Every structure is written in C-alpha cells, then in structure tokens.
Amino acid sequence: MTSQPPIAKRVPSERVHHGDTVIDEYAWLQNKDDPETIAYLQAENAYTEEATAHLGALRDALFNEIKSRTKETDLSVPTRKGGFWYYTRTVEGKQYGIQCRRAVAIGETDPPSTGDGSPLPGEEVLLDGNELAAGRNFFALGTFDVSPDGRWLAYSCDFDGDERFTLRIKDLLSGDVLDDEIPNTFYGSAWSGDGSVLFYLTVDEAWRPNRVWRHVRGTPTAEDEIVYEEPDERFWVGVDLTRSEKFIVIDVHSKVTSEVHVIPADLPTSPPRVITPRRQGVEYSIEHHGHRFLILHNDGAEDFALAYTSVDTPGTWTPLIEHEPGTRLLEVDAFARHMVISLRSGGLTGLRVMPFDGGPSYDIEFPEPIFAVGPDANPEYDTSTFRLHYGSLVTPDSIYDCDLDTGALMLRKQKPVLGGYDPSRYEQHREWAIAEDGTRVPISIVCLRDTPRDGSTPLLLYGYGSYEHSMDPWFSIPRLSLVDRGVVFAVAHIRGGGEMGRRWYDNGKMLAKKNTFTDFIACAEHLVKSGWTASDRLVARGGSAGGLLMGAVANLAPETFAGIVAQVPFVDPLNSILDPSLPLTVTEWEEWGNPLDDPDVYGYMKSYSPYENVADRRYPAILAITSLNDTRVLYHEPAKWVAHLRATAPGAKVLLKTEMGAGHGGPSGRYDAWKEEAFVNAWVLDLVGRAS
C-alpha cells in the first residue's frame, strides 16, 4: 500500500457542561450537507478499498460460498389467515422477496409447497420487491398489512435507508394502487374490522413515533384525523390489531414505563380507552382473549407475571401466572383454547403451553443443549396449531407446527444449506466466564469438531449487551466460511442484554453500563485462558450499541484483541445523548441516563465514551462500517472516532467504510448484504492468518 490514510481537518468546537469544557475538533463532520464531509468520507472509502484490494479474490470466494450454499429460488412456509395461505418467494438472481398468497383449497389443512421454490399453482403476487426497487440503490419494506377481509393491502416503502416510509393502499381484488399516498410514516399499521379505516403512525422531528392517525380508505389524506398524540418525549407509540381482530391497540412505551389504549375494531371512530394509566417504572402489554385482556407486567414482578382484567371494565388485575424469579416471561400469545408463553431461564429461551380449560401446562422440549426458540407467524385466533421457529449454532433455521392439544411437533421446513452441509462436523459449547465482580457470564461457542484448545486457533467473539436485547444462538450460512477455515465463533452473553432475565439488563445500563464492557473483556480473557484462542488471533465484532461495546473495549483492553469490527457503531454516545434535537436522544435517557441534567451521569458517560477516551496507545486493527443515511446511529459518530484515532494514535491501523446510500442495516438487497459480509469476513481471515 502506497497512499497515506486521510487526515481530517481540525476545527475546534467548544462544549461546556457541568463546568467541564471539552474541545471537539471533528464536530464539523456532523454537517452532512457540507461537501467537505462527503469528500472526507469518500477519501476514507478510497483508502479502505486500496488497503483491502489484496483481498479481492478472497472476497469473491466468500461471496460465492454464501451464494452456493443458499437456495436462491425458495419459498417460505405458507401461513394461513382466513381463506388464504400467505408466503414469500425468492428467485435466483433477484435481490428482494416477492410477497404472495394462494387461496386455501377445500379440505386443505397442511401448508402447500412446491419443493423446488417455484410459484404455487393459483398464486397471487401481492408485492414484488424487485419491481418496487427497480432503479433504486436502496429498498426496504416497512408495513405489510392485509385487511381482515383479505381485500386491502397497506404497505410502505423506504428508498433511502432513513426509515421514513411512504404508505400506500392496494386493492387486492383489482390489483390497483389507490391514490391514498401518505409520506413520512413509521413502521406499523392496523385495519378496522371491516377494512374501511386504516390506523398509521408518524414521527416528530426527533424521529420519535408520536402520533396515531385514522385514515378512511378512499378519502383525501388531508382529512386524516389524529387519534392519539404523545407529548412526553420519552415515549414511543405503536399501533396494531389484536389476533382476535376485535381491538385496535395503541401501545405507548418508554424504556421503563408503558400504557395501553384500545379502540373496538368494529367502531373505529371511537375514542381510545386506556387499560391502565401509566405508572413510572411499570411496564405492561396486553393480549385479547374472549371477555378479558391478558396483561403481561412487571408490577412487583422483576421477571414479569401474567394477570387479566375485564374487557368491558378494565381495572383490577387478577393474577394468572405468579412471578417466578429467574424465569423471565417475554411474551404471551393467546388463542381461542390455549395460550403460549415465551420465556427464558438459565440463559435459554423456551415455550410453555397453557390450555384455558384447566388442563396441565407443559414446556415444548428440544434436544440440543444450546438453542433459540420463539413464536413464528400465528395470525389465526381459533386454532389448535402453534407455529414456532427453532435453531442453534449448528442447526439451520427450522419452522415447526406444534399441536397444542398433544404437544406433537411437525417440522414444516428447515432452511436448506446446499453443498452437503453436515452438522456432525461441528460442535457447540456453553462456557462461563467470571466477571470482575464474580458474576458468571455465559458464552456460546461453535467450532469444527475436535478443534484444539492449545491457543493456536483464531476466534471471532461477538457481543451486544444493551436494551435487554439477547444474542441468542443463531445459525448463519456466511459464518460457515469462517468456521470451515478453522475460526471458532463465540457469543458473549453480557449484561445489558436480557439473556439471564431482567436483572441482567438492569445491571448493564445507566450507571452500571461499564459491566457490559468488563463482562466482554472477561469473556475474551476466559477464552484465552481456556486455550480456545490467543490474544494475537482474537477478533471482536459488534454493531450499533454493540459498536459502542467495541469502541469501549478498544480503549479498556486493547492488548486483548488482534482486531475489532465495529458496524454502525455508537461510539460518540455522550455528544449524541447531550443533544435532544437528535433522533432518539430523549427516549434514550432511561437507557443511558441524562447527562444534560445530571453531572454524575455526565461524568460516568464521559469515562467510558469511546470517542472521549481515545489516547495515544497501541490499538488493535479496527474496521469501522457505517451508512450515510442511518437514522439510529448517525454516520458522523464513527467518522469522528476514526478521525480522532488517526490523529491521536498515529500507529493505529484503522479503516472506515461508509455505505453512501444505505441505512442502519447496511445494504438492502440480499446479494449486496452477502458482499458486505464477505468484505468483513475477508478482513477477519486476513488478520488472523487464514486468508489462504
């Protein structure tokens, strides 16, 4: 490599909070409209391309491996709703899925399949993402919502990656798209019972969904009415239709508090009625069942309990499932005769079936020691069949139907892995690291069978650790290209996530956030001490809030890692959380704390913020990836971080890659996403000496 890395200009910008003066020399990069900003990002892209040019053949090989292992023309397991089977098809050579349905044949009970992924006889194409995306660099589908009578489809599209969608309505009888076009909407919608009214969401200037609107199909959108508006900037709003199709549900929630309102689906012009007024620190959600609302809540129940209240006069909560410490209740799915509870215990997910007739409850059993299971699409209310998805680090994603009366499982489909995939070639392990305070932290591991534990093996350690989001074991086709080359893959289930219950989350947020970082370091050190790898062949990877984790551990324990992959990384959290005008900031104060008003929070965040703590030290090699149109973690955070690293630690090997036409999730098409993954994995393999 001959060229020098880009050096960003320094423009001192002073910030003063709580008597602390900070000079931010790269704040100018926040101006997306400044040609110098774009020029800097393009220069970084050019430098990254040159620095990785020698990996071109490896990238191509990795992409082709992903492609050759993937059944490109395929069909999802059809889901029944009313008189139709709904499913998605993919076609070889096409980037996006095709949303379809087919009428249920007389006497048909099992979902149809062609086996080869070709269209089902009698298929009706509802939306073709490839046609919608034609001529666009980016495409994402937001809402996809068929009315209860099956006649109308509400759908929304984003062509920039900023998650601001344009909502449209399609007549599925005629195939015509109506003139009802609504720009700048958010995810989520709900139809009235007769399909005459559509409820949808819009956001405020800080990209917070704060308004629920009522649109009468076929009328000018200028006549739409606001049904609910949330003034408290800590709260988001969502809207949905219950499985029973009896109620429109308006869910209002902050990070720690929630409130639910309902509107009868057959009386869509009725005002919303609150189930239980919000109380700070109490979270609850509802599920409709007959004459009652089931209420999943944490009122005096850290890991949540289940209660119910009357539909006609909601008020007192009557206990149904008592709180059981250590068993986190996640979700309840109610059907006419059964309910299914999604839960986690001991670091693993589970499903518990409870009949409403008083019969015995039971847990659905699975054979593997490490796995992830949860509900799949279950739109029908009057059914005794429950669809679930299952997978592990070695078992491809699998769709089962469970007979709720007997507990019997029917495998409907396992994701094909072409090329002779043999799960017996691999093994998975669960180990436990000991954190600084003595807490046992679980680690999930997958590797080739009989991998030596003498420190000679490269290892990729993944982490997240925020928002109670759990990184449960998952199967990955792209990962096979790493593992087959002798790389061990591990997931650190660190605090801040939800793997071990609500307390696991609480002990990794606010003024306990550093536990997230030290847990990850403890996991890395455990893997080295146990012989799984050595520090000079250990690479860490994380994205978004997991990118914050990457930046923090790069400062705290740079000697522990050979490399770090930080994708859309939240590496300038203090500056972002200090600015209430930025997207998400106020809603995030209950996750990170409010440094604007609280000097203790300010000092604590400053002590771990990756950007604030860059120093002239030896850093591991760093690959940072971001997107120009990302709304959740703005592109300037990694851009500033990389510029600061270059200026402060001149010896650091740092690369920045910016997707110039994408959002938080990166490229939108599946082939483009595979190329991005091949790019990352080639960089990792090169770093650990497994590129050949």
Q: Which residues are catalytic?
A: 544, 630, 664
What stretches of 491-556 show up as alpha helix (H) in DSSP? 502-506, 514-529, 545-556
Is the Cβ–Cβ distance between 505 and 496 less than 8 Å?
yes
The CA distance from 397 to 13, in Å, is 50
One-letter amino acid of 397: D
DSSP assignment string, 175-190: -PBPS--EEEEEEEEE
- In the DSSP assignment, the letter for residue 97 is -
DSSP assignment string, 446-479: EEETT---SS-S-EEEE----TT--------HHH
The CA distance from 379 to 79, in Å, is 8
The CA distance from 15 to 24, in Å, is 7
* CA 561 to centroid of chain Cα atoms: 26
Q: Which two tokens stand for residue 687?
A: 């770093």
Which residues, listed in sequence order, are joined to residue 430 by a DSSP beta bridge? Answer: 444
Which residues, listed in sequence order, are joined to residue 388 by a DSSP beta bridge? Answer: 375, 400
Sheet holding 563-567, edge to edge: 426-434, 440-448, 488-492, 459-462, 538-543, 563-567, 621-627, 654-659
* φ and ψ at residue 61, rounded to 5 degrees: -65, -45
Q: Which two tokens stand for residue 101?
A: 């349905």
**CA nearest neighbour of 394 among 486, 482, 477:** 477
- In the DSSP assignment, the letter for residue 531 is T
The CA distance from 444 to 462, in Å, is 10
The SS3 of residue 313 is coil
Is the Cβ–Cβ distance between 654 and 8 less than 8 Å?
no
* φ and ψ at residue 521, rounded to 5 degrees: -65, -40
Residue 272: count other Cβ atoms within 10 Å of its Cβ.
Answer: 15
One-letter amino acid of 591: E
Which residues, listed in sequence order, are joined to residue 143 by a DSSP beta bridge? Answer: none
- For residue 313, what are the CA distances in angstroms to 92, 275, 284, 316? 54, 9, 17, 9
Sheet holding 273-274, edge to edge: 236-241, 247-253, 258-264, 273-274
The CA distance from 629 to 682, in Å, is 25
The SS3 of residue 86 is strand
Strands 621-627 and 563-567: parallel
The CA distance from 390 to 231, in Å, is 40
* φ and ψ at residue 325, rounded to 5 degrees: -55, 135
